[in-house]
Structure 1
Amino acid sequence: MAAFPSRKLLTIALVILTTLLTITLYRLTSLETCFKMHRAVHGDLSALWRNPEGTAERPHAAACEIEQVKAGYSLYQMLIKEPLHFKCQKPRTIQNRDEGSWTYCADPGFALKKPCLVYSFGINYDFTFDDAAGKLGCQVLSFDPSMRNLTDRRRNENVMFYLIGLGSHDTDTFEPRLNSYVAEPTKWKMRTLKTLLQQMKHADRTIDLLKIDIESSEWQVIRNILDTGVLRQVKQLLLEWHIFPDTPPRKEYVKLAEVLDELKAAGFRSFHRHEHPVNLDWSEFNVQSDVAYVNVKFKDR
């Protein structure tokens, strides 16, 4: 008579079988995640430019690499190394008071001419760009919640300042991360761009230029602006992208690449880029890059 396996052997066999099943399920999940990442991060983004409608099937690499460092390095390539995709014939640069500058496109169809509308987020007490846009005849709305010694006020005939921040959701109790602009814990009033446009009675207006410099919060904000469809109202987008050693979380890098991908699919083509050499060290996960875009899909409202 054949001997039945002992209870101990059966237990061992069950553990081995469970482990193999768990590994198999994990690998299947990882493969799906990997495929999505290669579509968003390692895909041949040039295919999107050859097909402006975004319907081209982008190739993906045969080998699968889902490590956060590699995903992050792909972000670095997209923010720093990727070729520009629009040739602006009349770029105009406005130098900030202390350091840095902003470049916009003055080509026909994009030039800032009265009655233009500009939304500017992230001032840090330097209204150089906002004042310059105001002198061109634009109505300029300037926002910065970190300038706590100021209140909502009219700066001049065309420039109005608001002690409000641009957020991915509406809240009066946003707690910003501590950095060179925020020395101690505080709470800010934040509104989405869609909410601000409604409050300012600009829901049906064209935004001739949208400037955003909000110290790494731009990733969630652009995600929200994409989801709400407000970008269709924007002609030009001037954006300072940030990746710091501690934020955004590295586990989010794939999603960040998706934001860049979708921004392009929405019609935004880069025509200018400036990297900040002081904050450019990928070995420390540190990237800061000013990128200027025009919306080639813009249609007059």
Structure 2
Amino acid sequence: MFHKITKKLRRIVNNKIFIIFAIVIFLLIRFYFTTHESIPKLPESYIQSSDIDSKQCNLSLLESDGWFCESDSDWKRRKRIHRLQHKRNRISDDRYLFFQNNWEPTIHCQFERRIGNTGDGGKWICDVYRLRQMNTTDLLIYSFGSNGDFSFEQAVKNMLPKAEIHTFDMQLYKCPDGICTFHQARLGNGKDGDSKSLQMIMKELGHENRHIQILKVDIEGSEYDLFESLLNLSPSNQAKLPYIRQILFEIHLHSDYIDKSIERTHELFELFRANNYAIFHKEVNLDDPRNVFEFALIRLNTAFFTSQL
């Protein structure tokens, strides 16, 4: 009788040990998968931010195509600000103070900076330090409309020594040694006379499959043709649209047909928005403050504009 009781107790103890062992294994497995949570696939040009652990900023990484790394609460606050400002961005068609009344920045970069010459020629860049953190050294920069001023290119090269910089202008100039490669070309929609679209330029240079990290445009009114040709593609051709991280450009209102120019300007900024670009900086050109402004835009993921808060 005693032997049977001992055997039964031993079996109960063994069962308890097995159950405890199974529970420990389960908890260890759960802990492993919790702490090694897989991060969703990010774009090829994903930038590892050092701000916080990337596991804590999956939402912002995905919705900014790998550019911003912020806590979910800060990112949602950023999205709310963007949406509120966007609603106010097309207030008036009045000629007087048109740009003061329309198209303000809707997103902000913590460490944006102005590079190039002071005054005309310089541009604002969003958090350029992130480009130094990229997992790739394939940094492609395009600068349209130099007018012989290469201060922008020199500043970019100083900050990003490995960047490949191409500069374009209608007139013939020469880049400083080791700074950029110069191309004589007239930019536009590629249909008017001898103008070339961005897609034509990229194909000629063998850059069709590369990303442009910074596109700087200062082409004295031809920016409308250039961007309309670039962005106004049918849904079936959207795959042909080159990926451009930041667009820095000067825009001009045409005073000789102002009503049409104002409507075209509204349509252009709506086109940027439809192609996932948000304004992060705006600056008046004091040489002609009624007609000329500088804008800087950054490309985000479609989910930034469409997902729920």
Instruction: Tell me how far 1:73 sits from its aligned partner.
Output: 3.5
More helix per residue: 2
Contact 2:81 2:106 in 1 (8 A): no
How far apart, CA to CA, are the structure 1 residues paired with 2:80 and 2:272? 15
Superposed displacement of residue 167, structure 1: 1.1
State the match for 1:220 in structure 2: 225
Residue 197 of structure 1, CA deviation: 0.7
What code does the residue aligned with 1:201 have? G
Q: Distance in 1 between matches of 2:94 and 2:190?
A: 26
Residue 106 of structure 1 is matched in structure 2 by 127
Q: Check if 1:245 corresponds to 2:268.
A: no
Equivalent AA in structure 1 for residue 294 of structure 2: D
**Larger strand proportion of the pair:** 1
Residue 71 and residue 122 in structure 1: after superposition, are their counterparts in 2 closer, same or farther (change >3 A)? same
Cα distance in 2 between the residues matched to 1:128 and 1:107: 16
Q: Amino acid of the residue matched to residue 270 of structure 2?
A: D
> Equivalent of 2:168, from 119, 136, 143?
143
Match of residue 289, structure 1, among 277, 288, 293 = 293
Shift of 1:255: 3.1
* C-alpha distance 240-48 of structure 1, shift in aligned 2 (>3 A): same
Paired position in structure 1 for 2:32? none
Of the three residues 145, 165, 169, the one matched with 2:190 is 169
Q: Which has the larger radius of gyration?
A: 2
Deviation at 1:252, TM superposition (A): 4.5
Rounded to whole Å, the distance in 1 between the matches of 2:133 and 2:229 is: 26
Of the structure 1 ranges 191-200 and 86-95, higher mean CA displacement relative to structure 2 is found in 86-95
* Aligned residues with identical type, % of pairs: 23
With over 3 angstroms needed to count, the CA separation of the structure-2 counterparts of 1:48 and 1:220, relative to structure 1, is farther
TM-aligned CA distance change 1:235 to 1:108, over 3 Å: same
Using the TM superposition, name which of 193-202 and 269-278 deviates more: 269-278
Aligned partners of 2:120 and 2:285 also within 8 Å: no
TM-score, normalization by structure 1: 0.61
For 1:121, the aligned partner's letter is: F
User: Would the aligned equivalents of 2:281 and 2:296 in 1 still touch at CA under 8 Å?
Assistant: yes
Give aligned pairs, total: 214
Q: Match of 2:216?
A: 211
Counterpart residue identity of residue 224, structure 1: S
Q: SS where residue 196 of structure 1 aligns? A: helix
Change (3 A) 1:169 1:48: farther
After superposition, the CA RMSD in angstroms is 3.5
In structure 2, runs of 5+ residues without a counterpart are: 1-78, 304-309
Instruction: Output the TM-score relative to the length of structure 2.
Output: 0.59
Match of 2:93 in 1: 71
